[in-house]
Amino acid sequence: MAKLYFRHGTVGSAKTLNLLAVAHNYRQQGKKILLMKPNVDTRFGKERIKSRAGLEMEADILIANESSLKQEDYSGVSCILVDEVQFVTKEVIEELRRISLDFDIPVLCYGLRTDFKSYLFEGSKRLMELADSIEEVKATCHYCNRKSIMNLKHVNGLAASEGPSVELGAEEKYFPTCFKCYRREIEKAQIIRQQQTKGCETSGTDRGQRSQSKELHPLS
- Of 58, 66, 72, 84, the catalytic one is 84
Query: Any catalytic annotation for residue 84?
Result: yes
Q: Using alpha carbons only, give the angle 40, 42, 47 rounded to the nearest 5 degrees.
A: 100
Among all residues, which ones are annotated catalytic? 84
